A and B are shown apart, each in its own frame.
Chain A
């Protein structure tokens, strides 16, 4: 297979890699090598994205708060988070006498592994899609809700009352908001008629789903944004950490790199949630196309899909950061009321409306 590389379509390139590997060794080893390559690439990607989301958050919150933010290490403080990571790596990992050693050490890995796994199903660009499951949406949902196990274990095994309170709050919160996230995504799956992320993206070639599905899609998007912010334990729903109440909640007792794992996982979860929102509602890597405006669509096509994907994700992440740095924190009973009394009923009705609209063919588009 000839070598081809295009920033607009990675299919040729990935197929060339696959063909070359399969030509060089047996299918088993070829698959294994592919796994290793993807894994290493992901690790690098994970570290870079995690670190630079932390940097972005610090800069964004600084701008919101009339500050400059990190500006000492490198230009505009660009290497600040790398310096922080080195510091965290070199710090002593404090082991707690009363803690359940096994679970205590296991918890950060569960949290980080789940966020790592969820990344696998995200389409970054055409052909740049590690594993295209036919139940992609379901897979991401299932994996990302496993993170709560790590958080619960962390709070439980720390043998600290603050951590336990944080973990219990987090458990109640994530399990409830999981429902709304799922329901709002299902509304779009109804519109798309598929749970396969590549199909969902491809179907938005004419028009993104948030426009195509108009009213119910916008409702679903708003519900998704609220619920996803809650699911990632970010402000104003950061009750599990609640630094002014519980000091640091479930990770009070962690130090050094284990703390960094929780920290990175939080940002990666935010990234995954944002990229899922971008993929499902805003067309993922698909450029903005408006039916009827051919020349406009061609201009949009010149921007590489990867940039579209990154741009959309960044905008959604920015919105989530904006939330966090503007609103005060909710209380646990208000949080659960919001989910069970408002978001869940609305999203259930929303699915019905969406189904009706799809049946009647009242959505915008071709």
Chain B
């Protein structure tokens, strides 16, 4: 590469730039300290903690029902999945078998949340690349899912819909019809996303071969979710350790081996299709029954350690509870996918340009409250 040689000769001096905490493409209050030589990124140093709320400590003085509401505020785009992790951990500890109806509704809700999250990711990824129109297309369709959530759960972003033992409320009578309408609509609209961004020559040039990560590296960085699967790391918790009703539905784990930004992009695009398949299999077969099992008002977990992981929209979300037999956990730890994915940012971006850093960051799809907790 002649160009690189010229650049290296021209810029002997490294400059360091502070990207964030206020920056349009850090998706929140993430601060990246970059070392640059000209346009080339030499080093990226993420500085976390700008939205640290001490959630893990807070849980120690809260009951398990209250903790559910905290987990919404981690990765607010996959609030359902975060709730599910805590609920499943508590249910596992107490040895409660939730009704089939609950399992199916939870699966549908999780997948709807995954689609909504990937839509927002698509919006912001397009915007990071400079295609502002993507942002509005994605939000237009995400709105429809949020409407469905609002009708059933009562809120749009942080729903706190699951509770230990089942659901907060039964589904709205319109739920099934609305979801079916949405699937029909979104199947028609998803090719539009491909036309606008996936098949765009500029986008492909920007994404292909950029930010490559091999499978081994991805595993050693602990990259999970679509970011890990883009490198060929088979890490779908839904497939390997099924929870909810995932063992009853047929779906493919989307895997790509290229490991570049485009692979991570395409994994997410295909995951939206898979999620729609899962919902379609379940939406007509919601079994009758209770929407929750009767629980005691105060939940006390038996003494011991419990771990539950779920597949959140950004990867593997884990909840680790140490209980001393009281109504509060003794210690609680969240394993957030974004934190591990962010750790790979430096390795991914070294030797690329600033514009690539933004594209790679977009393809990792970080949500800052999930990193800082």
Q: Which residues of A contact B (CB under 8 A)?
A: 61, 64-67, 161-162, 165, 169, 235-236, 238-239, 242-247, 325-334
Contact = CB atoms under 8 A, between A and B. Distances in A.
16 contacts: A65-B133, A239-B355, A244-B358, A247-B24, A325-B133, A326-B133, A327-B130, A328-B129, A328-B130, A328-B206, A329-B129, A329-B202, A330-B202, A330-B205, A331-B353, A333-B3
Given A327-B202, A332-B355, A244 B39 contact: no
A66 B23 contact: no
B202 A328 contact: yes
Given A236-B202, A327-B131, A331-B206, A244 B24 contact: yes
Contacts of A169: 39
B39 A332 contact: yes
Given A243-B24, A329-B202, A235 B353 contact: no
A66 B136 contact: yes
Q: Which of B126, B132, B200 has the most CB of A within 10 A?
A: B132
Nearest to A161: B17
Interface string B326-366: 00000000000000000000000000011110100000000
A239 B206 CA distance: 13
Contacts of B130: 235-236, 238, 242, 244, 327-329
Contacts of A331: 205-206, 353, 355-356
Contacts of A238: 130
Interface string B118-139: 0000000011111111011100
B15 interface: yes
A343 to B, nearest CB: 15
A344 B127 CA distance: 30
A92 to B, nearest CB: 19
Contacts of A162: 17
B137 A244 contact: no
Contacts of A325: 132-133
B355 A64 contact: no
A326 B17 contact: no
Nearest to B124: A244
A66 B141 CA distance: 11
Nearest to B354: A245
A301 B158 CA distance: 64
Given A236-B130, A328-B130, A329-B130, 10 more contacts: A65-B132, A66-B137, A235-B130, A244-B127, A326-B133, A327-B130, A327-B131, A329-B129, A329-B131, A330-B205
- Going nearest first, the 4 A-B pairs with the smallest beta carbon separation are A329-B130, A328-B129, A328-B131, A65-B136
B136 A247 contact: no
B202 A332 contact: no
B197 interface: yes
A236 B202 CA distance: 9
B196 interface: yes
A161 B23 CA distance: 14
Contacts of B354: 165, 245-246
A246 B17 CA distance: 11
B203 interface: yes
A196 B151 CA distance: 67
B15 A161 contact: yes
A263 B268 CA distance: 37
B83 to A, nearest CB: 32
Contacts of A165: 39, 354
A59 to B, nearest CB: 14
A217 B329 CA distance: 76
B178 to A, nearest CB: 21
A65 B202 contact: no
A328 B355 contact: no
Nearest to B126: A328
B59 interface: no
B8 interface: no
Contacts of B200: 327-328
Contact of B137 (A65, A235, A247, A327): A65
